[in-house]
Amino acid sequence: MKIGILISGRGSNMQALVKAAAEPDYPAEVAVVISNRPDALGLEYARHVGLPAVTIDHKAYDSREAFERELDRVLRQYGTELICNAGFMRLLTAGFVDAWHDRQINIHPSLLPAYKGLHSHERVLADGVKITGCSVHFVRTAMDAGPIIAQAAVPVLEGDEPGDLAARVLQAEHQLYPHALKLVAEGRARVRDEKVVIDGNDRAAPALFSPLIGARD
């Protein structure tokens, strides 16, 4: 399955997907990396490993729709079958989201549906929550909503600052995203009644994922 990865910045999740896709048996290949910001660090990595790395600067377009038309055109030009948002910081209109229905996924650094939006780690710490994590989900028009494909649990430790928690969750993100993409690319993660059902014999492992207790695969 050909994937197009959308980024806006550092691109560490994009790197995790690129590395996974380089494995011989992995069921997805990266067709293109697109950033809406010309200065996104991740673009350098993508170019370094020889991937098409395209900037579509949203500021150069009059409207969201005009920006998205170009985004859509470039994605299709590279044969994209599934979009992976990886730290992509633009809200997308219903027109774009609907055109890629069940063909666009996103990673968010919380256990959705809790702590949608920005600054999730700060809010987790303010609430005194003991377990947080990250989620990969199909994209819908509402922000950070949509059928959940897989989640990883990460503990909140005594004395954590937001940066400590972000770093711990990010490690889990780098394992969870390639795992979730694999499920989608293999056709094992299907949306039924707006929930994801995972095909396979193992009832628990595919979607319940805790890197810290080694529940991978």
Give me the residues that bind ligand GRF (CB under 6 A), please: 7, 9-13, 86-87, 107-109, 170, 173
Taking the least distance from each CB to ligand GRF, the nearer of 87 and 211 is: 87
Number of C-beta neighbours around residue 76 at 10 A: 10
Taking the least distance from each CB to ligand GRF, the nearer of 68 and 173 is: 173
Taking the least distance from each CB to ligand GRF, the nearer of 13 and 132 is: 13
Q: For 51-117, give the secondary structure using H, E and C.
A: CCEEECCHHHCCCHHHHHHHHHHHHHHCCCCEEEECCCCCCCCHHHHHHCCCCEEEEECCCCCCCCC
Choose among 71, 39, 78: nearest CA to 56: 71
Taking the least distance from each CB to ligand GRF, the nearer of 46 and 196 is: 46
Q: Taking the complex as a whole, how short is the minimal distance between the CB of residue 37 and ligand GRF, in angstroms?
A: 11
Cα separation of 202 and 217, whole Å?
A: 9
Number of C-beta neighbours around residue 48 at 10 A: 9
Q: Taking the complex as a whole, how short is the minimal distance between the CB of residue 208 and ligand GRF, in angstroms?
A: 19
Q: Is 58 a catalytic residue?
A: no
Q: Taking the complex as a whole, how short is the minimal distance between the CB of residue 33 and ligand GRF, in angstroms?
A: 11
Chain length of the chain: 217
Q: Taking the complex as a whole, how short is the minimal distance between the CB of residue 86 and ligand GRF, in angstroms?
A: 5
**CA of 217: how far to CAs of 7, 23, 150, in Å?**
26, 16, 12
Choose among 142, 180, 168: nearest CA to 1: 180
Q: Quick one: CA dihedral 145, 2, 35, 111, positive or negative? A: positive
Per the CB < 8 A criterion, the answer to whether 145 and 116 are in contact is yes
Taking the least distance from each CB to ligand GRF, the nearer of 9 and 27 is: 9
Which one from 48, 101, 108, 121 is the annotated catalytic residue?
108
Q: Taking the complex as a whole, how short is the minimal distance between the CB of residue 177 and ligand GRF, in angstroms?
A: 8
Residues catalogued as catalytic: 108
